[in-house]
């Protein structure tokens, strides 16, 4: 689903601007599938991106510059993704029309589905599936506030925003390529970053329900910081496995668990709402992406609470890399943080 980028495939650098770091991925097509050509991550300081808005465009831009220089990336066309309140995703029922008529109809009707002035948004849509009777079709309508796109553009100094995607759909894209779900499998895709969790419940290749929740890895770090009286940096390192004098692993596990329980409640609420509105499909599998997927104890707690398979979403399950260029250890270390970014990089190719 190429949003706001035209339908023609062209080489793009996937660029994921998160609140804790910027990630960039360039892929190339191989005979069998796709190969990682270039990848880079650069940390951002805490006030740079807040609530999904780029506050300090220059800092983001120089982080992107550092990745480009470090990885010798020359392609200036980038695909990036947005999420949050500036993004409206609606499923609408449309009559079965030819391509041009559908375009006109969607644009004519969009105003009634979007809570913003239509002049202030960029629109795109995708036909999902025909109704069982075949007389109507389900269309996924996506609107992103122009302000938001301009905000992202402002950090791309010297580069072209060739495609704007939505985090949840980039996540779905990387899932579809790597797991090839059959049409009936319903799975919950969770991208747990530093400050936001993107949720996308999909059946096969169809998104059924998307939601963004303001929870993430920062909450764990904040809790460790407060409960154990550590600096943010110490708490962050402690969370990721470094020892801190005077604090036991039991204390850490207890604090992390209490935050994971809050997270479980949020996921539960979403699943309940999904069940109540989307009807039959039962969620059979949870895939967890984002850096906070690595929070000690989280995966096991999700398994226990939801009684279903829970796996880390591996963006390199079917995307290969040259081990002489990128070590297995490095790829394994960064994999969950790169899910959205690899999903964006895949937009370079027709099939994705």
Ligand X SMILES: Nc1ncnc2c1ncn2[C@@H]1O[C@H](COP(=O)(O)OP(=O)(O)OP(=O)(O)O)[C@@H](O)[C@H]1O
User: In the complex, which residues of this chain contact ligand X (CB under 6 A)?
Assistant: 18-21, 193-196, 216-218, 221, 236, 239-240, 290-292, 294-295, 337
Looking at the Cβ atoms of 86 and 186, the one nearer to Mg ion is 86
Rounded Cα–Cα distance for residues 310 and 312 (Å) = 7
CA 89, distance to chain mean position in Å, is 15
Looking at the Cβ atoms of 139 and 196, the one nearer to Mg ion is 196
Looking at the Cβ atoms of 2 and 52, the one nearer to ligand X is 52
Instruction: Name the burial class of residue 135, with classes exposed (0-12), middle (13-18) and buried (19+) by CB atoms within 10 angstroms of its CB.
Output: exposed
CB of 337 to ligand X, least distance (A): 4
How many other CB atoms sit within 10 Å of the CB of residue 123?
Answer: 17
Contacts of 25 (CB under 8 A, 6+ apart): 13, 14, 36, 38, 39, 338, 341, 342, 344, 345
Backbone region of residue 205 per phi and psi (left: phi > 0; alpha: psi in -120 to 50; beta: other values): alpha
How many other CB atoms sit within 10 Å of the CB of residue 197?
Answer: 24
- Name which position in 5, 18, 52, 216 contacts Mg ion (CB under 5 A): 18
CB of 164 to ligand X, least distance (A): 16
Q: Binding partner of residue 291 among ligand X, Mg ion, none, CB under 5 to 8 Å per kind?
A: ligand X
Rounded Cα–Cα distance for residues 12 and 162 (Å) = 8
Rounded Cα–Cα distance for residues 113 and 234 (Å) = 46
Task: List the alpha helices (DSSP H) in the chain.
Answer: 57-71, 99-109, 146-153, 167-179, 217-228, 232-239, 249-278, 298-306, 328-334, 339-345
Q: Are 26 and 75 in contact (CB under 8 A)?
A: yes
CB of 72 to ligand X, least distance (A): 23
CB of 193 to Mg ion, least distance (A): 3
CB of 88 to ligand X, least distance (A): 19
Stretch that binds Mg ion, among 78-86, 189-197, 222-230, 281-289 (CB under 5 A): 189-197
Q: Binding partner of residue 195 among Mg ion, ligand X, none, CB under 5 to 8 Å per kind?
A: ligand X
Q: Binding partner of residue 260 among Mg ion, ligand X, none, CB under 5 to 8 Å per kind?
A: none
Question: Residue 193, interface with Mg ion (CB under 5 A)?
Answer: yes
CB of 340 to ligand X, least distance (A): 7
Q: Binding partner of residue 172 among Mg ion, ligand X, none, CB under 5 to 8 Å per kind?
A: none
Q: Binding partner of residue 234 among ligand X, Mg ion, none, CB under 5 to 8 Å per kind?
A: none
Looking at the Cβ atoms of 284 and 301, the one nearer to ligand X is 301
Give me the long-range contacts of 193-196 (CB less than 8 A, separation at least 24).
193/18, 193/19, 193/20, 193/217, 193/290, 193/291, 193/292, 194/18, 194/19, 194/20, 194/218, 194/291, 194/292, 195/19, 195/20, 195/51, 196/19, 196/52, 196/83, 196/84, 196/167
Question: Residue 181, interface with Mg ion (CB under 5 A)?
Answer: no
Looking at the Cβ atoms of 139 and 315, the one nearer to ligand X is 315
Stretch that binds Mg ion, among 54-62, 85-93, 169-177, 193-201 (CB under 5 A): 193-201
Q: Binding partner of residue 148 among Mg ion, ligand X, none, CB under 5 to 8 Å per kind?
A: none
Question: Residue 336, interface with Mg ion (CB under 5 A)?
Answer: no
Q: What is residue 327's three-state secondary structure?
A: coil
CB of 114 to ligand X, least distance (A): 24
Rounded Cα–Cα distance for residues 30 and 41 (Å) = 24
Stretch that binds Mg ion, among 12-20, 27-35, 154-162, 264-272 (CB under 5 A): 12-20
CB of 155 to Mg ion, least distance (A): 15
Q: What are phi and psi of 351, to 5 degrees?
A: -65, -25
Applying CB under 5 A, the site for Mg ion has a residue count of 2
Q: What is the binding site for Mg ion (CB under 5 A)?
A: 18, 193
């Amino acid at each position: 689903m190429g949003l706001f980028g035209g339908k023609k495939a062209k080489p793009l650098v996937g660029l994921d601007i998160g609140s804790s770091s910027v990630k960039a991925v360039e892929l190339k097509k191989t005979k069998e599938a796709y190969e990682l050509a270039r990848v880079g991550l650069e940390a951002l300081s805490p006030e740079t991106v807040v609530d999904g808005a780029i506050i300090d465009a220059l800092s983001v831009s120089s982080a992107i510059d550092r990745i480009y220089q470090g990885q010798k990336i020359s392609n200036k066309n980038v695909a990036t993704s947005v999420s949050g309140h500036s993004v409206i995703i609606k499923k609408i029922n449309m009559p079965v029309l030819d391509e041009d008529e559908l375009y006109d109809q969607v644009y004519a009707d969009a105003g009634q589905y979007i809570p913003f002035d239509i002049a202030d948004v960029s629109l795109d849509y995708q036909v999902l599936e025909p109704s069982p009777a075949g007389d109507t079709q389900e269309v996924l309508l996506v609107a992103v506030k122009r302000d938001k796109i301009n905000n992202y553009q402002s950090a791309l100094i010297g580069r072209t925003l060739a495609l704007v995607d939505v985090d949840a759909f980039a996540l779905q894209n990387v899932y579809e390529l790597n797991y090839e779900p059959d049409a009936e499998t319903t799975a919950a895709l969770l991208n747990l970053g530093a400050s936001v969790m993107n949720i996308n419940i999909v059946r096969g290749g169809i998104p059924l329900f998307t939601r963004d929740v303001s929870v993430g890895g920062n909450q764990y770090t904040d809790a460790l910081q407060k409960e154990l009286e550590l600096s943010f940096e110490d708490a962050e390192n402690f969370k990721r496995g470094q020892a801190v004098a005077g604090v036991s692993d039991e204390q850490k596990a207890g604090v992390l668990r209490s935050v994971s329980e809050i997270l479980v409640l949020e996921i539960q609420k979403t699943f309940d709402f999904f069940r109540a509105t989307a009807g039959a499909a039962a969620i059979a599998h949870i895939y967890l992406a984002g850096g906070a997927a690595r929070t000690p104890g989280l995966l096991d707690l999700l398994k226990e609470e939801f009684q279903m398979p829970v796996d880390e979403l591996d963006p390199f399950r079917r995307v290969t890399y040259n081990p002489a260029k990128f070590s297995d250890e490095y790829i394994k270390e960064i994999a969950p943080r790169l899910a959205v970014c690899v999903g964006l990089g895949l937009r370079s190719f027709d099939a994705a």
